[in-house]
Amino acid sequence: MSASSEKPTPRETSIPGLVLWDLPVHGDSRGWFKENWQREKMVAAGLPDFRPVQNNVSFNDEIGITRGIHAEPWDKWVSVATGRIFGAWVDLRQGPGFGAVFTAEIGPDRAIFVPRGVGNAYQTLERDTAYVYLVNDHWSPSASYTFLNLADETAAVAWPMPLQQAGVSEKDLAHPRLADVTPVPPRKTLVLGADGQLGRALRRVYADDTAVEFASRTDLDLAEADLASSRRWRDYGAVVNAAAYTAVDAAETSEGRAAAWAANVGGVAALARIASENDLVLVHVSSDYVFDGKSDRPYHESDPVSPLGVYGQTKAAGDAVVSTVPRHFIIRTSWVIGDGSNFVRTMADLATRGKNPRVVNDQVGRLTFTDDLARGIRHLLSRDAPYGVYNLTGSGEPLSWASVARRVFSFLGHDPERVTGVTTEEYFSGAVAPVAVRPPYSVLDLSRIESVGFAPVPVEDSLARYLKLLESEQTSG
């Protein structure tokens, strides 16, 4: 037996993600040798790095032994050590491809990658056939399995040996027809911190997606000792961590410092471990506070971090932890505005009540509205964007806090000159409690997020939209 190629070669099939592979087999008078699974070469050739954890062998004495059609909640790498099979695969995943069928013969010189949710079956064509398959999850009684009858008339698999003559188990003969099969749903996305301002925005953005699950701290505490076993993590494809300790000034106290490190580093580390072990995409929201604000240009994702205070230090440490997860998005943002108490809402309230605020004018940045941030997160997850760090804020002209306040006053029909600009030092001059050092310049470069097709909304537009909502709330209230 000789090889047709010196490297594994993929062949796309009619079922998305189901890929047939030609494997080099080297033979001589003594027999033959092949690399049945070689991660480095196969990943380089285009096979997903599916990280198998178990290798199973099914030995079949006779011709016509038939097994399937089984769709398990994991990926498979199927091959033959000896003998030959007729393989049949049926797409049982939710979507337009449901019910699609592909068949092929597989011997020692072929293998096939079977993605999660695609039903797998085979019939032996030779005696003493050793059917080998690697899987990337361990069998679990809590996992969800889907089956299709081998004789289903809709799939109409053309078995070489009629099923009446083949060796088939009673269990496989009893599986449901296609019309009675519940399609395998896609892997779920889990949003943590679902009751926070970003979490609530993500609820709105994902309102049409039943595959997204939301959890508050009451539902899932990252500090729990049994976090790794708290749910079947392999059923998820991504986790969005919208939870964080964000009390910037309180973090400068001894109690706040401990809480900030526990949430922004300890909890993130626990989540990163789970993401790495279960091959999840981890989305982590970071901050402009990882920088010292001394730049003379917008910060790029590759710029070295240099946090000034405890909060920024914990966010920078969290970024470093998440960067070790093979599939991750670190999203750096600034000046976040969402539901509940925030700067814009406070300025609108002061304007309406006739108050004339003193507002800092020596800190410059861009507002980020949580709805826009949530849309950006969904964009990255849905567009197969390269993993890594992305800046995501509103776009347009950078403003000081005082400039933002004046725009709020002006939009609501009030005199913007009622806002008095002061330095940060002046603003906090009478503070009794500890005050965190703020980065004076928080402008983040948006080129990378734009390069993957996401257009950040101009701050002026988002601000106008938000203020209209506030006016509607006041009118209806």
Q: Is 415:364 a contact under the CB 8 Å cutoff?
A: no
User: Degrees (nearest 5) of the Cα angle 257, 399, 427?
Assistant: 50
Pairwise CA distance, residues 356 & 415, whole Å? 10
Residue 414 annotated among the catalytic residues of the structure = no
Which sign, positive or negative, has the C-alpha torsion 379, 463, 313, 196? negative
For the chain, the 3-state helix, strand and coil shares in percent, each to the nearest 5, are 30, 25, 45
Please enumerate in sequence order all residues whose Cβ is within 8 A of that of 137, keeping only pairs 6 or more positions apart, or say none. 53, 54, 73, 74, 143, 234
Residue 170, token pair as written in the block: 């009673």
Residue 56, token pair as written in the block: 């199973």
DSSP string, 324-356: TSSSEEEEEE-SEE-SSS-HHHHHHHHHHTT--
How far is CA 440 from each of CA 98, 210, 410, rounded to the nearest angstrom? 55, 42, 25
Q: Which of 122, 131, 133, 299 is catalytic?
A: 133
Q: For tokens 């006041």, name the residue.
A: 474
Residue 262: count other Cβ atoms within 10 Å of its Cβ: 15
Residue 328 annotated among the catalytic residues of the structure = no
Q: Return the active site residues.
A: 70, 133
